[in-house]
Structure 1
Amino acid sequence: MNRVRRLLTRSRPLFWLYLAGPALVGAVYAADSPSTLTSPVVIGIVCYFLLPANLFLYGVNDVFDADVDAENPKKEGIETRYEGERLTIVAVVASAIVGFALVPVLSPPATYYLGGFLFLGAAYSVPPIRFKTRPLLDSVSNGLYVLPAGVTYATIAGTHPPALAVLGGWFWAMGMHTFSAIPDIDPDRQAGIRTTATVLGQPAALGYCVACWALAAVTFGFLDVRIGALLLVYPLIVGAIATASVTVSRAYWWFPAVNSTVGMVLTLGGLWRVVYGS
């Protein structure tokens, strides 16, 4: 039970909705009736991105970051260090296999989004690509968090999601990644790892996050002004952090609640369209 508990901790339960949430949003905005959302395929995809995909993504990250995480204080509480547990390797491989097992029930466009997720999820941490040690590419590669929405949307609609939605979501993910890397600036520098956050430093990195999130809001605004206005909450939060006596390390743990709330509003808006047609 202790090993299973550590494995679940490794999957970052606090962040489960970072993958499952986009999958649900993509499904809601592709659906043309409530019954579509309860189909076994849609439920299966969302469940995959709720736990197995998180085990894959964070398990790979922890295995290849074991030496770096030895000095990272974030691994002493909500997160956990990888210490050579064989169960983690088994879980990562099994989660990837489950992902590939979804391919037969996906539409052809959806397979591109799933393949992109699995590739970027591994390439972010695994040498020789290891995007996480390549400034700017570490941020850009984290658009992978948008890809679950592409999987569900394309599976239901049979076509790619709107390009503006993908681009806006990608900007959002870039900002979120760099913001989450700011608390790791000192441990990463001590370990000799170069990231967008370590190169910019905290003040400039916060400015980069504001720019990414503002671009996300503007891009979504061209698609739907209401979604664009909703996403303005992110640069406003950074402004509040910069002017208040709140550390980024503390504010970082607010974002699961912030992201879940924004995702809930997006989902409810999509459900309103499905049920009432407007």
Structure 2
Amino acid sequence: MAAAGRLRYLLTLSRPRFWLYLAGPMLVGVAFAAETVPELYDPGVAVAVAYFLLPANVYLYGVNDAFDAEIDESNPKKERKEARWRDDGVVRAVVVACGLLGAVPFAVLPSLAWPYLAGFLFLATEYSAPPLRFKTTPFLDSLSNGLYILPGAAAYAAVSGSHPPAAALAGAWFWAMGMHTFSAIPDVEPDRAAGIRTTATFLGERRTYAYCFGCWAAAAVGFALVDVRLGAVLSAYPVAVAAVFRSDVDVERAYWWYPVLNTVVGATLTLGALWRLVNG
């Protein structure tokens, strides 16, 4: 494979539509943690955001695709917006190197953030890789996807010098669980055909919608316990999944709208936090 082809493949593998799923929570965490404007420009956090914007995504999805290569042969999603795993030595080396670069955030962030960073690397690996391979166990696959909010918790801890509010952490974890399980609905039939057990294959499509609604409702409640306005913003998710369920929109199409919804919600939260900061 030529260098340009490898680069295009690695960018596709990293899921550019989802880059902000890891880096975005860090920006939200910084905005809510900062008590002065200069704290928004913490150089260590900036380095960590750069890692979670691209290298962390190459590692997360590279591990996923490598251990799902056989399963993905029958997954039509890999023919369009994603790419099937290419068992290439250079690609494998880049994925491993991106995992090793996970040491950089440990070097630039204070020790208070380290448990969240360690949790991310552990879950990012064991979600897909043996021996635990959480993604093949119903409900553990959903629960383990709290990995997406751990970078944000690390950024909050680094800037504020304290752990995030427990209610916000729980709310964010429920949000990630809902996102993961909703994204698994289009894969129900390919996963069943491959003999893969997930929360979505266990529950079936109809009950999976209800599960996602419950996760996102719990997320809204968790954030509302911190500030009712945060809960109001997060209520967009249970409303959205109920609308998709009651509509004729194909879930696979709706799934690709969620990066937009996540960006809008994340930007709303961040701008609200910055408004609070600037206006006292």
Alpha-carbon deviation of 1:34? Answer: 2.0
Aligned 1:111-260 pairs, distance under 5 A: 111-260=114-263
Alpha-carbon deviation of 1:246? Answer: 0.5
State how far apart, in whole Å, the 1-side matches of 2:51 and 2:86 are: 26
1:18 lines up with 2:21 in the alignment: yes
State how far apart, in whole Å, the 2-side matches of 1:222 and 1:101 are: 34
1:244 aligned partner, one-letter code: S
State how far apart, in whole Å, the 1-side matches of 2:107 and 2:265 are: 32
1:276 lines up with 2:279 in the alignment: yes
Alpha-carbon deviation of 1:138? Answer: 0.2
Using the size of structure 2 for normalisation, the TM-score is: 0.97
Aligned residue among 53, 66, 80 for 2:83: 80
Partner of 1:101: 104
CA contact (8 A) 1:171 1:216 kept: yes
State how far apart, in whole Å, the 1-side matches of 2:94 and 2:29 are: 26
CA contact (8 A) 1:165 1:219 kept: yes
Count of equivalent residues:
277
Gaps of 5+ in 1: none
Alpha-carbon deviation of 1:179? Answer: 0.1
1:135 aligned partner, one-letter code: P
Partner of 2:270: 267
Aligned residue among 22, 42, 45 for 2:45: 42
State how far apart, in whole Å, the 1-side matches of 2:234 and 2:127 are: 26
Alpha-carbon deviation of 1:90? Answer: 1.5
Moved more, 230-239 or 251-260: 230-239
Moved over 3 A (4+): none
Alpha-carbon deviation of 1:63? Answer: 0.4
Q: Deviations over 1:85-118 (max 9, x none)?
A: 2232212221122111221222112000000000
CA contact (8 A) 2:23 2:49 kept: yes
RMSD: 0.9
2:263 aligned partner, one-letter code: S
1:56 lines up with 2:59 in the alignment: yes
Moved more, 70-79 or 114-123: 70-79
Alpha-carbon deviation of 1:32? Answer: 1.6
1:229 aligned partner, one-letter code: A
State how far apart, in whole Å, the 1-side matches of 2:178 and 2:195 are: 23
Partner of 2:9: 6
CA contact (8 A) 1:37 1:43 kept: no
Using the size of structure 1 for normalisation, the TM-score is: 0.98
Q: Deviations over 1:41-78 (max 9, x none)?
A: 12111111110111111010000000011111111112
